[in-house]
Structure formats: C-alpha cells, structure tokens
Structure 1
Amino acid sequence: MQRIRCNIASVTPFCDTVFKVILTPSQPVTFAAGQYLTVVMSDEDKRPFSIASSPVNGEQLELHIGAAVAESYAMQVIEAMQSRDSIEVELPFGDAYLRQDLPRPRLLIAGGTGFSYINSIMETLIAAGDTTTTFLYWGCRDQASMYQADKLARWAEHYPHLTVVPVFDEAVAGQRQGTVIDAVCSDFISLGDYDVYIAGRFEMAGAAREAFREKGVDERRLFGDAFAYIK
C-alpha cells in the first residue's frame, strides 16, 4: 500500500449528481484494474472510491464520485478537493481486480457510479486488445444518471465482442426497465461459464450473489469488493 500526495488537476461535473475527479500523483503508482483507493480526509477518516482509470495510464488517477446531497459523505470529499490544490490518497485496495488468467467470457455489472469500477476494467481490456466475449450491464435511475452513455454507445459500436445493456429504474423509451440484476437473470440461463464482475451498493451486490447462485455462478469467479463486507 502506498500513501501518495496528488495534485488535484480537475473536479468537473459529469451531470447533476456525479463528479469526475482527475488526480496527478506526485510519484508513480501501481494498481490493478478494478482496485480502489482511499481519500485521506484525516488519519482517522479515509474514504474509499473505485479508481476509474486504467493502470495503463499511470500518470493520472480518475475517480467518479456520486455527490448530490449537501454535507453528504461524498460531497464533503468534493468540497475538500474544490478548496485545495492537493490531497493524499492511499492505494491500492481490493481483491475484485481484473483476472485474465482463464479464457472465459465476462459479465460486467454496474449500479450507478459502480460504473467507475467497470470503466477501469474495460479501458484495460481495450488497451490490451482483448476480444473475449463480454456483456456489460449498467443500471441507473434514469437517463440523466447514466453519465457516460456516449462512451457506452462508442464501445458498443466499435467492439463487436461487447454487448452493452443499459437498464433504467424509470421508463425510458426503447430501453430495459427494472433492476439490473433482474435483467441479467432474464437474459442468462446459466452463469457457470462466466467471470462476473460487479460494483454498486452493498444491497445490490448481496441480491446479485443470491440470484446468481440460482444461475449456477462459480463463486470463485464472482468478483466484487462488497462481498468482503457482506456475509
């Protein structure tokens, strides 16, 4: 684990509820796609966020921080970054990083800003020229919350091995509606042959694990950092 000071290069809104943060580390950093860092607010207060960038681009760290409520846990981090030139982070953390040891098809699942975790994995696979069959499901409340919809569309257009499935809580014309977990379970008879990567709220990850067990998922190939905190 490294503790590193980073210059705050930019803090810009993706949309009304999500901010894109770019940090420039003061020294080289090492992490795996899908790992996370903690923002050091104080020695007693360290707040975790997925690293959205790929380790292929080690010169900067990208974060996607959902912050819509004043004085919330996440908004406090955004406000701190907006008022400072630099901040300390600790990294890397997490065991749900990208595995490329077996040639198995992949299922990538994000809820809300859990897309940051999936983005790191996807950018790494793209940089490596990986063409393994991949399904990407992203669940959001509404179209405005799907803050990187344009990127999803570009990926779907340029990479024939990739199937992208947006899922919305609210009705959106021509799009899937419901929970992202229900969408996956509806589309797959069995998950036994897949590497499954998932990021989102803890309750979503817990529900997914229960549902995917019924679909025969190999839990040794089910990756999500939430599982370290829920039993």
Structure 2
Amino acid sequence: MKTIRCQVEKITPFNGAVYQVLLRPDTPLAHQAGQYLCVVMGEKDKRAFSIASAADAEVIELHIGAAVNEPYPMQVVEKLQQNSHIDIEAPGGEAWLRHDSTRPRLLIAGGTGFSYIKSLIEQQIQLGQTIETTLYWGCRNQDAMYYEQLARQWHSEHPWLHFVPVVEEAKPQWDGKQGNLLAQIQQDYTSLAGFDVYIAGRFDMVGAAREIFRQLNVDEAHLYGDAFAFIK
C-alpha cells in the first residue's frame, strides 16, 4: 500500500453512531471497488475502513461507525475533526468486485459493512452492468440503516438490483424483513451454488455467515470478504 496525504473535506453524522467522511487525496488513488484504506493514527497504529466510493471517484468516502461508547473508531473521527489533512495507506484488500464475472451476485452488509457494498454497486452502475444482483442489508433497527433511501433508490431505478432490508427491531409500517440477517438469507435460499457472494460486517457475523453458506453449497472461490483474512 502507498501512503497518500488527503484533505479532510467533510465529516457528517448520518445518525448518532455513524459518520460519513469525505477525503480528497493529494494524488489520485488507484484502487478497485471493494478495497479498503488505513487511516494512519501513528507509526504503528493504522486503522482500516472500507472505501465506500467507486473506483474512479475523485473524493474518497468512508462510513465510520463510532458510537460514543466505542473509543477505537471514535478516536479516528476526533482526529479527522481536529486536522485539515490526514495520511492514509491504500489500497488494501482482495475482496474487490470481479466485474468480468457473469454469475449472479449476492451482496450482504451488516451495519456499516454497507460502505463496502456501496462501492461495489456504484461500480456496477458506472460500468453499465445488468447482472442479477441482490443486496441484503441487516441493521438493529431502521434508524441504524443510514443509507436506506439510497438503497431503495437503486432498487427502483435498476431492474437488475433487488434490495432486501432486514432489521431486528421493526416499527409499525416497516417495509422490509424483520429478524436476523443470516436467518433471512437461509430462509430465502436453498443453495448458493453458482453465485458470487460478497459480504462485509462484524467479524463474528461474517464468520457465522461462512459456516451457514457452506451448508448452502457456496463455492468458496467465489465468496469474497476481507474479514476472512483475519478469521481463518
């Protein structure tokens, strides 16, 4: 990975626990959709976040889940708020979009794992691809689904893209599924053979998903998620 200086353009809270961060690199960042960067906090302290923007975007978008009781990511937000520029190391990760594949795609996001999925979908849209794609996004409740409107917009504008929102705690008139994200996928699919599957979220969720997907005959050569490099 290369070290790149970035201007901190904007930091905006989506809600009480997730921040949108926009960075403008001093030199263009050459990366593929689905890769991540590391914010340099110190010589030996580099913290990874998925890049939420498509591969050729001039501004890098991050989604940082940083509730006040989570000091590790909140320290990053505070550093960004206190400085006009920041160093990053990028790009990293092997779970980038295999855009040459014609297999149907299943995209799965838990919480701020949506940042990773957003990059993949925006890249598909820019490439003009119409490969059948289904997006599952699981959150604790609707308030936590910070980019719900964008995901529903994709669903309505692109016939090839199907959005399935899943929340654990649903309000009346909720237009989506209620329950556990992985249980919902188990209910909806009897087999994942033939799919390209991309997943991002907490490591424990991703690890549990892999075990479930193995039972659904997933081809692990086509199961993509950078978390797998850390939970072998």
- Where in structure 1 are there 5+ consecutive unaligned residues? none
The answer to whether the 8 A contact 2:142-2:170 is kept is no
User: Within 2, Cα distance between the matches of 1:82 and 1:64?
Assistant: 14
Counterpart residue number, 1:221: 222
Q: Secondary structure at the match of 1:110?
A: strand
User: Within 2, Cα distance between the matches of 1:102 and 1:159?
Assistant: 19
Q: Secondary structure at the match of 1:32?
A: coil
User: Within 2, Cα distance between the matches of 1:210 and 1:171?
Assistant: 27
C-alpha displacement of 1:95:
0.6
User: Within 1, Cα distance between the matches of 2:102 and 2:53?
Assistant: 23
Counterpart residue number, 2:26: 26
Counterpart residue number, 1:52: 52
Counterpart residue number, 2:105: 106
Q: Secondary structure at the match of 2:108?
A: strand
Q: Once the two structures are aligned, what percentage of the paired residues are identical?
A: 53
Q: Secondary structure at the match of 1:52?
A: coil
Displaced runs of 4 or more, over 2 A: 171-175
Counterpart residue number, 1:162: 161
C-alpha displacement of 1:185:
1.2
Counterpart residue number, 1:97: 96
User: Within 1, Cα distance between the matches of 2:156 and 2:101?
Assistant: 26
The answer to whether the 8 A contact 2:99-2:124 is kept is no
Q: AA paired with 2:185?
A: V
Q: How does 1:93-172 map to 2 (within 5 A)?
A: 93-172=92-171
C-alpha displacement of 1:209:
0.4
The answer to whether the 8 A contact 1:56-1:127 is kept is no
Q: Secondary structure at the match of 1:209?
A: helix
C-alpha displacement of 1:181:
1.0
Counterpart residue number, 1:4: 4
C-alpha displacement of 1:2:
1.1
User: Within 2, Cα distance between the matches of 1:216 and 1:61?
Assistant: 36
Q: AA paired with 1:223?
A: Y
Give yes or no for the alignment of 1:195 onto 2:193: no
- When residues 81 and 52 of structure 1 are mapped into structure 2, their CA distance, relative to the original with a 3 A threshold, is same
User: Within 2, Cα distance between the matches of 1:174 and 1:71?
Assistant: 30
The answer to whether the 8 A contact 2:2-2:89 is kept is yes
Q: Secondary structure at the match of 1:19?
A: strand
The answer to whether the 8 A contact 1:109-1:137 is kept is yes
Give yes or no for the alignment of 1:40 onto 2:54: no
TM-score of the two chains, using structure 2 as the length reference: 0.97
User: Within 1, Cα distance between the matches of 2:38 and 2:125?
Assistant: 26
C-alpha displacement of 1:39:
0.1
User: Within 1, Cα distance between the matches of 2:22 and 2:131?
Assistant: 29
**Aligned pairs, how many?**
230
Q: Deviations over 1:86-109 (max 9, x none)?
A: 000000110111002321000000
User: Within 2, Cα distance between the matches of 1:35 and 1:179?
Assistant: 27
Q: Secondary structure at the match of 1:169?
A: strand
The answer to whether the 8 A contact 2:207-2:228 is kept is yes
TM-score of the two chains, using structure 1 as the length reference: 0.97
Q: Deviations over 1:114-139 (max 9, x none)?
A: 00000000000001111000000000
The answer to whether the 8 A contact 1:51-1:120 is kept is yes
Q: Secondary structure at the match of 2:90?
A: strand
User: Within 1, Cα distance between the matches of 2:69 and 2:85?
Assistant: 22
- Where in structure 2 are there 5+ consecutive unaligned residues? none
User: Within 1, Cα distance between the matches of 2:167 and 2:70?
Assistant: 27
